[in-house]
């Protein structure tokens, strides 16, 4: 990774910071859901696992698997870059998948007002995942070269 340009390194650090922030915000949100708080979403829906039991499972998986794996991948990107970027690629696919799914669900069932808050909660994660995957594809040789 030493042979990356300054712009590529800055882009990577920015993406890692945004992915880390996204994971920390998700962690806090899902811990609050697990604690039993009804959390209103910007599309008018409410994350309350007493009303929708699947939300408990999603929050549990995010807290125990997704958020720690994301933070570990970011640390590994500096400590063991090949493993970190491999794990980050999987997280990038997860970000794309889950945020497309939540965006589509929000549009189909909640008919939200498209506000800045809605954009940051729902489709921004997919854009972030796509941005990392595009960066990794553009720098594949530098990231995974021996």
For the stretch 78-108, pLDDT in tens is: 999 999 999 999 999 999 999 998 888 888 8
Residue 128 has pLDDT above 80, yes or no: yes
Provide the percentage of residues in the chain whose pLDDT is more than 70. 98
Residues 106, 112: contact at Cβ < 8 Å? Answer: yes
In a domain, 74, yes or no: yes
In a domain, 1, yes or no: no
Which structural domain range is residue 128 located in?
Answer: 6-144
In a domain, 12, yes or no: yes
Segment 131-146 mean pLDDT: 89
In a domain, 90, yes or no: yes
Q: What is the pTM of this model?
A: 0.88
Query: Tell me, what's the pLDDT at 106?
Result: 83
In a domain, 102, yes or no: yes
Q: How many domains does the chain have?
A: 1
In a domain, 122, yes or no: yes
Per-residue three-class SS string for 99-135 = HHHHHHHHHHHHCCCCCHHHHHHCHHHHHHHHHHHHH
């Amino acid at each position: 990774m030493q042979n990356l340009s300054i712009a590529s390194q800055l882009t990577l650090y920015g993406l890692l910071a945004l992915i880390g922030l996204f994971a920390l915000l998700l962690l806090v949100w899902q811990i609050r859901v697990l604690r039993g708080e009804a959390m209103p979403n910007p599309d008018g829906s409410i994350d309350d696992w007493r009303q929708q039991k699947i939300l408990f499972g999603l929050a549990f998986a995010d807290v125990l698997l997704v958020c720690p794996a994301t933070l570990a991948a970011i640390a590994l990107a500096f400590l063991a870059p090949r493993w970190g970027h491999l794990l980050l690629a999987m997280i990038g696919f997860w970000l794309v998948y889950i945020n497309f799914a939540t965006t589509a669900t929000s549009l189909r069932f909640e008919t939200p007002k498209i506000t800045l808050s809605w954009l940051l909660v729902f489709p921004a994660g997919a854009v972030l995942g796509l941005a990392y995957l595009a960066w990794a594809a553009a720098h594949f040789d530098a990231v995974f070269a021996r």
